[in-house]
Structure 1
Amino acid sequence: MLARLTCGVAASAMLLLALPAVAQDFSAQRLSDHIKYLSDDSLEGRFPGKVGEQMTLAYLQAQYEAMGLQPGGPDGQWLQPVDLLRLTPARPATVSWTGADGVVHPVEAGLMVRAGAADGHVKLDNLPIVFAGYGVVAPERNWDDYGTMDLTGKVVIVLNGQPETFGADPNFYGSSTHKVNEAIKRGAAGVITLYEMQGGRGMRGGTRPRMTITGAHETAFSGVMTLDAATALATASGEDIQAVLTAAKAGGAFKAQDIGLKLNVDTDEVAEVIHSHNLLAKIPGTTRPDEYLVYSAHWDHVGVAADPDANGDRIFNGAWDNASGTSGVLEMARAFKAGPPPERTVVFLHVTAEEQGLLGSEWYAAHPVYPLEKTAADINIDMLPFTPATKTIAIFGIGKSELEDDLERLAQRDGRHVVGDGEPEQGYYYRSDHFNFAAGGVPALMPWTGVDFVEGGEAVGRPYYQAQMAKYYHKLDDEWRADYDFTAALQNLKLLYQLGQEVADSTSWPQWKPTSEFAAIRRESDAARR
């Protein structure tokens, strides 16, 4: 890449003269210094509610104050309080079903339930059981598993995943977010996910603590069911399980159906509130201050291991994940502060508890400081690339929004291109904080590590990246290193700044592509942007 830039410096200079002013001062040294502090042992893995949170937020606030940014949180504060809820089973849950003859049948295996985000106590009897296929409602794809079904006071069983006709790679309709939202709209008391493989998935989670947020958009309880347990219910209701599943997967005429049985649930969990925080800074817009662009990153990591490794290390320092992205947002703010004032307000959001299930961004989406309908875009930075120069900038969820087309146009000026992450089957777009913006309708972009290196191409780049992931991702070895290669990180930050500058100064609104599953959500708030 450096060779290309050297050879084309005159042409590049001419192009830049025609562009809006671009702050080029992204510093590898400053990125390294931020990461070094944020991943220090003294922060104990930056777990929410612990000493690492206090130290992290104090550091971020001090950096923004030194830059001259304004607090961006509620009521002119830097911090947005986030109440996390940790639920720990106090005893094994008791689950049974009642047949048409009134006989109660205890469920000994194959069904695990957890309390929702209330007080941890759930005792519900005689809940009618409904099977709703995938539990998907996607009008633009001519798929509706519910029809007119009312779920008030009922429990709904839904298949894991999504219809085959939606494609092999995961999308929003296969997510628990979509399925729970649809169940809640219809009044469901509980949602149970059916995994078809023998033994099911997630059954070990019945005794472990889980984290959510207080007041989360959840049913009174949720559960996981194996195929064996579902077969027993189908048999009791006079149905053949395979015939039922085949009909549900075909869609079309299939609609949710009451199977004629009742479920009884009794579970007790200890609920502990953990007080955490998101941090926000902002640069007010000059002409449209009530319209917003958000740069986001999660500041947290996973804390301290129960047992030390062979070297006595117990701290998950989280240098790459996500001290690097946190540092990237800090430096993005510095670039905006040094550049021309934006016309829209630019918000720099550092969220908590991503590692516990995207909880800080979920809280923000449920309690937005700035209206989601007036938020033009979210650009989320989770793990900067630590690689040599790349010919590509990878993004998650390629094909979803116009933001990637604008990014491609900007990348081409540097001889680079936008590509997918190469692992669409992993559904990464639904696994970082931008997802909660997308689920709220906001066009959201998530860059990732490109593996097509300027020197050596993918033959060198892909194994380089794979080796990094294997060695550092969620490992105790993810510590600050003096030999980070920030070349690709600086390339990407420059492009993400240029993209954000365009969004911040535009009078138009980035759009989801018509095929995106989030387009319909955004259309619901179109009137607010006219």
Structure 2
Amino acid sequence: MTTYYSLGLLCVLALTACQPTEQAKPVPAADDTGAETELAESSFNPNFRDYFRTLASDEFMGRAPATKGEEITVAYIEQQFERFGLRPANQGSYRQPVPVMQIDPVQVSSLSFSGDQAPPDYIYRQDMMAWSSQMLTEIAVDSSDVVFVGYGIVAPEYNWNDYEGLDVEGKTVVMFVNDPGYATQDPELFNGNAMTYYGRWTYKYEEAARQGAAMALIVHETAPASYGWHVVAGTSPIRFELANDNKNMDRAQVEGWLSQQGAERLFASAGYDLESLRQDALSGSFQAIPLNVQASITIKNNLRSLQSDNVIGYIEGTTYPDETVIYMAHWDHFGMDFSLPDNQVFNGAQDNAGGVAALLAIAERMAAEPAPERSVVFMSWAVEERGLLGSAWYAANPLFPLETTVAGVNMDVINVHGPMKDVMVVGYNSSELETMLEHYSKQQNRYIVAEPTPEDGFYYRSDHFSLAKVGVPMLYARGGIDHVEHGKAWGLEQRHIYNSQHYHKVTDEFHEDWDLRGAAQDMHLFYHIGKELAISRQWPNWYQGNEFRAIRDASAEARK
């Protein structure tokens, strides 16, 4: 039986135990009986603002992995975990080392084509972007047959296989970005407008490698990619990969993008146009199309071995200690840029000092209470900004069995604009965790909504995705845009200001005038969901049709 607790009662108990250190305007919230209680900024944990301010300070030097900033950050989180009384997760240590290889493509040749109708060479960053995830100092693809493979997707649950009957061993595959659902806007195809895992460029490279391709190139289009060519070509080409013994030799030799104009020239050389190939790819009877040219490219890399650390502590369960509920937030950001004239620190206040502060606030509160039946694990990830590497390393090297990991909550970018009427769910309609979120949201007189741009695939761009890929149901939600006092237009404006002016910039700094009452709202929600899971026998699952459902079902069989 599902057990729910009165949010109003728990808020009152919290206020009794922890008197606010600052005065804040109360925000109404309703319990199961409809009674109102005050939910002030410090109602959840009066230390939250201090944690937030500290982690976002210049002293932490932008929290870049493998720097002095990391040393300070990891030590700080460790100290708080120890002070709360959390148990170290890794054989007496809070740290889980994450081995990383930095790959710097110091020389990338043009992408050249040969064949009767071959287009002229494609210029690096202008017509194409290319790199290698293989940990080698030199990579060469020579005269590789080029094949158009539609969307490059193998999705059994959608009865879709672009590689069916096709041998691309040693070949170069070219494919569209995103997935057929977005292209058609058909809600019955994949997930309609909302991107699925199969639409992510990372998946497409992984699948191409599984098929044996030597090179995988994605056609860039601004709308389905959700960003312009300047983002692809203007981003630093330096890559970070998890270090491993096989040096990523199971990846394609070369991965990359073609500009839309470059793709159109390539298709035209073979007698096709982009739109006709799109219709072929969406036809339901698609068969790969050889483009009758061969591709060649050479890449030279500098390699550098690094180590970063995940920080993980836990409260051991009293009855089912091997069953774990997890909270997560990445600690890393972009460090410092000494070429800038004045402000040189990427403080990463909202992204993601706030998330780590929330992690600490929830851990502190739970650790002060009687231990629950299941274990509760608090994870702060390394190297998220460079490819979700800390969480990916954990997923491949878990400290707690994945089969008995119940579910988790990810906190990445915390609301700093005050109380909201809505709760935005990233990856909406994914798992049964949303039913729990909706219940507790209603107790706050709030409603849950889908993220406004599901086609952008944000569910696949934060650390919870690493655990989702191995079947663990994960919730990624935060305060939305429907502000209690200022309304939706104002809330949407704040979101736009952050994304356009502060996201991944040195201006993402902590401000004392931030209204953290909304953060308190959200922390209450996350706390109650995790608490309920920790004291119940629930095993939330992905909804039917979700791409991770089969993995979770297999885990359920393994638990029997």
TM-score (norm 2): 0.83
**Post-superposition CA distance 1:350-391 (Å, at most 9, x none):** 111222232222222233222333322121001221132222
- Which of 172, 176, 184 is 2:201 aligned to? 176
Q: In terms of mean alpha carbon deviation, does 88-97 or 444-453 score higher?
A: 88-97
Check conservation: 2:103, 2:135, Cα contact below 8 A. Answer: no
2:107 corresponds to which residue?
91
| Amino acid of the structure 2 residue aligned with 1:50 | T
| Amino acid of the structure 2 residue aligned with 1:182 | E
1:257 shift after superposition: 4.0
Distance 1:295 1:457 in 2: 30
Check conservation: 1:144, 1:255, Cα contact below 8 A. Answer: no
**Post-superposition CA distance 1:313-353 (Å, at most 9, x none):** 21111222211110111111112212232222211111112
| Amino acid of the structure 2 residue aligned with 1:420 | A
> Where do 1:28-107 residues align within 5 Å?
28=46, 30-73=47-90, 75-99=91-115, 107=122
2:45 corresponds to which residue?
27
Aligned length: 514
| Amino acid of the structure 2 residue aligned with 1:211 | F
1:258 shift after superposition: 4.1
Distance 1:470 1:197 in 2: 17
- Which of 212, 225, 236 is 2:258 aligned to? 225
Check conservation: 1:318, 1:474, Cα contact below 8 A. Answer: yes
Distance 1:313 1:197 in 2: 31
2:238 corresponds to which residue?
209
1:121 corresponds to which residue?
138
Distance 1:301 1:403 in 2: 28
1:128–1:303 distance in 2 versus 1, CA, 3 Å: same
Q: What secondary structure sits across from 2:60 in the alignment?
A: helix
1:203 shift after superposition: 5.8
Q: What secondary structure sits across from 1:280 in the alignment?
A: strand
Matched, 1:375 2:408: no
**Post-superposition CA distance 1:289-310 (Å, at most 9, x none):** 222221110101111134335x
Q: What secondary structure sits across from 1:446 in the alignment?
A: strand
Q: Give runs of ≥4 in structure 1 deviating > 6 Å.
A: 7-10
Q: What secondary structure sits across from 2:356 in the alignment?
A: helix
Distance 1:363 1:38 in 2: 24
Q: In terms of mean alpha carbon deviation, does 383-392 or 295-304 score higher?
A: 383-392
Distance 1:499 1:278 in 2: 24
Distance 1:513 1:494 in 2: 25
Distance 2:83 2:441 in 1: 31
Distance 1:404 1:196 in 2: 32
| Amino acid of the structure 2 residue aligned with 1:503 | L
1:191 corresponds to which residue?
216
1:226 shift after superposition: 2.9
List runs of 5+ in structure 2 lacking aligned partners. 1-24
Q: What secondary structure sits across from 1:146 in the alignment?
A: coil
Distance 2:119 2:278 in 1: 29
| Amino acid of the structure 2 residue aligned with 1:291 | E
1:285 corresponds to which residue?
317
Q: What secondary structure sits across from 1:91 in the alignment?
A: strand
1:392 shift after superposition: 2.1
1:134–1:120 distance in 2 versus 1, CA, 3 Å: farther
> Where do 1:135-154 residues align within 5 Å?
135-154=152-171
Check conservation: 1:143, 1:251, Cα contact below 8 A. Answer: no
> Where do 1:263-282 residues align within 5 Å?
263-282=295-314
> Where do 1:428-467 residues align within 5 Å?
428-467=458-497
Q: In terms of mean alpha carbon deviation, does 53-62 or 348-357 score higher?
A: 348-357
| Amino acid of the structure 2 residue aligned with 1:219 | A
- Which of 502, 526, 529 is 1:499 aligned to? 529
Q: What secondary structure sits across from 1:76 in the alignment?
A: coil
1:242 shift after superposition: 3.8
1:19 corresponds to which residue?
none
Distance 1:470 1:106 in 2: 35
TM-score (norm 1): 0.88
**Post-superposition CA distance 1:255-280 (Å, at most 9, x none):** 33444443333211111122111111
1:200–1:332 distance in 2 versus 1, CA, 3 Å: closer
| Amino acid of the structure 1 residue aligned with 2:339 | D
- Which of 447, 451, 465 is 1:417 aligned to? 447
Q: CA RMSD in A?
A: 3.0
1:514 shift after superposition: 1.6
2:370 corresponds to which residue?
340
